[in-house]
Amino acid sequence: MLFDTHCHINFDDYAADRDAMLARAREMGVSQLVCIGMLPPGGREALALARANPGFVYASVGCHPYDAVHYNAQVEAEFRALLREPEVVLLGEMGLDTVKSPSPLPAQEAAFEQQLQLAGETGKPVCIHSREAFAICERVIRRVHPRGWKGFAHCFSDGPQEALAWKELGFKVSFAGQITFKNKSCDPIRAAAAALTPEDVVIETDAPFLAPQARRGRRNEPGFVRHTAEKLAEIWGLGVEEVARRTTATARAVLGL
Ligand SMILES: [Zn+2]
């Protein structure tokens, strides 16, 4: 039982083989996944997939930092409506990206802060995208509410210090395919995993992006979350089934499933 806590299976990348791809994920041991919907149209697509695959696919909705300039009262009202649906278990992804977001940083910060407030009001866990932006993310999170957060530091790409800081803030650290990459630049991600336990960690693919080393450069899909579980098992000296079971329990506890 593997839990892919973050994938974009509503994307057109899967238009030709979505059902076959989901069947493969089940065969590879994926018991549940969250489809991350961006802005209200993406959220509605994620919700439709959740309804078509009950108990297997769940949905989120959020405003990605790239889309921050589009966040407004109308979008927030549509988020509120979607968050009332039982299949919508997560708010995000939201956050900050200093690498290549087309939305300027002040707009990103404003959209992030408003979504964190919405999470506080609705009691939903959050999925945070932080790309070379940990210090600013932490500042915004502490400004909105000092503690008690439930959620995931999605696609974690920093080192042990940041991983422990996420834990201290109340978040679970989510590892994706980069942990399997051969590049030296990914060593800090592995060191971060070594500093944590399966109770601090969830796993994800971010499919169709970030295919693991064995599939690098090709389309990613939820079944490949197994590669991340295998790498974590190696780092922790545990069996892969134990890693799957314990990180799935961590994800389910955060999402209230
Ligand atoms: Zn994503």
Backbone angles phi and psi of 166, in degrees to 5: -60, -45
User: Tell me: the pLDDT tens digits for 240-257?
Assistant: 999 999 999 999 999 999
Q: Please give the Cα distance from 26 to 152 (Å, whole number).
A: 23
Q: Which helix (H) or strand (E) holds 110?
A: helix 105-122
Distance (Å) from CA 242 to ligand 1 centroid: 26
**CATH fold group of domain 2-255:** TIM Barrel (3.20.20)
Distance (Å) from CA 5 to ligand 1 centroid: 10
Domain segments of the chain: what residues?
2-255
List the one residue out of 145, 98, 142 whose CA is nearest residue 121. Answer: 145
What residues pack around ion ligand 1 (CB closer than 5 A)?
A: 206
Q: What mean pLDDT value characterizes the chain? A: 96
User: Tell me: the pLDDT tens digits for 37-59?
Assistant: 999 999 999 999 999 999 999 99
Q: What is the pTM of this model?
A: 0.96
Burial environment of residue 90 by CB neighbours within 10 A (0 to 12, 13 to 18, 19 or more)? buried
Distance (Å) from CA 38 to ligand 1 centroid: 9
Q: Please give the Cα distance from 46 to 61 (Å, whole number).
A: 8
Distance (Å) from CA 154 to ligand 1 centroid: 8
Distance (Å) from CA 206 to ligand 1 centroid: 5
Distance (Å) from CA 238 to ligand 1 centroid: 28
Locus of tokens 């994926």? 30
Distance (Å) from CA 36 to ligand 1 centroid: 7
